[in-house]
Amino acid sequence: MIAAAAALAVGLASCASFKHLTQVSDTFPPAKDCGKCHVEIYDEWSTSDHAHAYTNPQFHEATDDYAFGDCLSCHAPEPRLTAARPAVRTSGREEGVTCVSCHLEEGVLSGPLKPTGKVHPHPIGVRPEVYYDSGICGRCHEGTMAQWNAAPSEKSGCQQCHMEPARRKVTQATGGVSNLLVAMEKEIPVRRHGFRIPPDSQSLGYLVLSVGRSDTDVAITVENRCPHDLPTGDFGFRAVVLEVFARDERGGASPVGRWELTRELGTAIESHGSRTWTLPVPEDAVLTRAVLTRRSYGQDSILLAEIRLEGRTP
């Protein structure tokens, strides 16, 4: 193995073709180049909202065909990690929030971990204090970051909820030299690059929905245990909708209540806050169901939480 590593190191060092991974001029290393070795991360990222931050039709329209220069920086950020809000990129804007905008620092690709393998086709920086901190997200998610800072202490970082845990090697490429590279790495705990609403927010207790019932009334409570508002976000349209349905003995379901939480209406629930709504239930209702979903323009609604209450009396 040592001999193989040495041979591979010589091979890689003499192979100038890896220099492009850390070089920025008029262009920058595109995500698909990183994807040749970091196969799974690339796949996760390419279906995330980050990859589409610039081409997103909502954004395209809201900026009047990209005419509003002040809007572009976070949606097509410069090809390097910055401490504060990034500047806008000059080329390849359609790649949105791309790999090097979070990982390239002065010719080094930085991440949270010590390398597990013996050979690296590009220089590596080990910076857990940057990559495990919410601040790396907060340089663009400014409003959400301010909410996070104000939230009660004992809070998780953004990565813990928006980058799902996984156990795997740092690269997954196959074929020729790549097989050797990958074989020398170890499986370790890492996080996926999906950057999405956690699909199991209810079971993980991030959002809690409860229903209480008397003879005539139903009381529904939504509790936000996230370290930011429900809903959060500074831009675009985003609402969290609570809907209540009652079902009678014959099986017919009817909507009996609907409320919208939005920043615009001032109805967002702050971190660790809760709100209760009470409504009368039709007399013959045998089952009540409350559903919490996230809505936005041009996207499917996302189920956040759901609860059922059976029986006529409490």
> Site residues for ligand HEC, window 204-243 (CB under 6 A)?
206-207, 226-228, 230-236, 238
How big is the site for ligand HEC, counted in residues (CB under 6 A)? 97
> Please, what is the minimum distance in Å from the beta carbon of residue 26 to ligand HEC?
16
**Of the residues 24, 88, 113, 180, which one makes contact with ligand HEC according to CB under 6 A:** 113
**Of the residues 8, 79, 80, 163, which one makes contact with ligand HEC according to CB under 6 A:** 163
**Of the residues 77, 223, 242, 281, which one makes contact with ligand HEC according to CB under 6 A:** 77
Binding residues for ligand HEC restricted to 33-72, rule: CB under 6 A? 33-38, 41-42, 45, 49-50, 52-53, 56, 58-59, 62-63, 68, 70-71
Give CA–CA dist 289/220, Å, rounded. 10
Which amino acid would we find at residue 181? L
- In the numeric block, the tokens 């795997």 are attached to 168
CB 302 within 8 A of CB 291: no
Angle at alpha carbon of residue 224, lines to 221 and 270, rounded to 5°: 110
Give CA–CA dist 88/79, Å, rounded. 9
Asked whether position 81 contacts ligand HEC by CB under 6 A, the answer is: no
Q: Which of these segments, 2-10, 137-145, 244-252, 282-290, binds ligand HEC (CB under 6 A)?
A: 137-145
Asked whether position 131 contacts ligand HEC by CB under 6 A, the answer is: yes
Cβ burial 63-80 (10 Å sphere, 16+ → b, else e): beeeeeeebbbbbbbbbb
Asked whether position 74 contacts ligand HEC by CB under 6 A, the answer is: yes
Binding residues for ligand HEC restricted to 285-304, rule: CB under 6 A? 294, 296, 304
Give CA–CA dist 89/27, Å, rounded. 9
Asked whether position 91 contacts ligand HEC by CB under 6 A, the answer is: no
Give CA–CA dist 272/206, Å, rounded. 10
> Please, what is the minimum distance in Å from the beta carbon of residue 247 to ligand HEC?
27
Radius of gyration of the chain (CA): 24
**Of the residues 80, 89, 162, 247, which one makes contact with ligand HEC according to CB under 6 A:** 162
Q: Tell me how far CA of residue 9 lies from CA of 6, 100, 122, in angstroms.
A: 5, 24, 11
Two structure tokens written together for 121: 């086709």
**Of the residues 8, 170, 244, 256, which one makes contact with ligand HEC according to CB under 6 A:** 170
Asked whether position 123 contacts ligand HEC by CB under 6 A, the answer is: no
> Please, what is the minimum distance in Å from the beta carbon of residue 210 to ligand HEC?
16
Give CA–CA dist 60/78, Å, rounded. 19
- In the numeric block, the tokens 């091979």 are attached to 11
Asked whether position 103 contacts ligand HEC by CB under 6 A, the answer is: yes
